[in-house]
Amino acid sequence: MPISALDAIDCRIVAALQADGRLTNLELAERVGLSPSPCLRRVKRLERDGYIAGYRAVLQRNRLGLGLTVFVGVRIGAHANVEAEAFLDAVVEMAEVVACHLVSGETDYLLEVVVPDLDHYQRLLVGKLLALPIVREVRSSIAIQTHKAGAPLPLDHLAQPARLPEKHGNVLRRKKEGRPPERALGRRRAEKNR
């Protein structure tokens, strides 16, 4: 379902659930202005269509002893599909890797790694990442301080009406101002010049 298929109520539902995934259906229905049955049907549709991928608790890394975050740039030796897929399969299986992005620039992949300390990172780096035959180069950047992580997705663009082409925008603006559209002005000018 394309983004345009999300109506205003769907947008309110995803925003409310992103802010608090523990809302009951009754609470959610009240927040978005629906009765419970239609609200639940919409939530199920949003889940089925892949807009809502799941629900989980947001945990505090430091409180759980995961005090080291490392951003790892990885260059691979070849981009053949089989070898690259094997690399991705291995990285996805590493619990310490909480995010993996294919990127442009000096590296091919950017990984976000969360571990208790430098010793654990060294074991991951040497024992797992560098052990992959396709890995050519690894560059690590250690996060000194985190100011924002795990933030909710920005959803403001979902609430914006589709922008009309400038020509249509001018017609609507003239109408709103109580002036006739330019086409009507053109006809009036043509009639005047006869």
The per-residue pLDDT for 159 is 66
| SS3 assignment, position 52 | coil
Decide: 82 and 33 in contact? Cβ < 8 Å. no
Average the pLDDT over each of 26-30, 81-85, 109-113 and give the range with the smallest value.
81-85
pLDDT in tens, 120-143: 999 999 999 999 999 999 999 999
Asked if the model's pLDDT at residue 86 lies above 60, the reply is yes
Q: Which residue has the higher pLDDT, 82 or 27?
A: 27
Contacts of residue 89, defined as CB under 8 A and 6 or more positions apart, other chains included, come to: none
Highest mean pLDDT among 6-15, 113-122, 183-192: 113-122
Mean pLDDT, the chain, as a whole number?
86
Give the confidence band of 94 by pLDDT, cuts at 50, 70, 90: very high
Predicted TM-score (pTM) of this structure: 0.74
Residue 135 CA to residue 74 CA, distance in Å, equals 7
Asked whether the predicted pLDDT for residue 191 surpasses 90, the reply is no
42 exposure class (CB count in 10 Å sphere: 0-12, 13-18, 19+): buried
**Among 87, 107, 86, 110, CA closest to 98:** 110
pLDDT at residue 150, rounded to an integer: 85
Interval 139-178: pLDDT, tens: 999 999 999 988 889 988 886 554 444 544 454 555 556 6
What are the structural domains, with CATH classification, of the chain?
3-48 (1.10.10.10), 62-142 (3.30.70.920), 165-193 (no CATH)
In the numeric block, which tokens belong to residue 118? 């430098």
The pLDDT assigned to 78 comes to 76
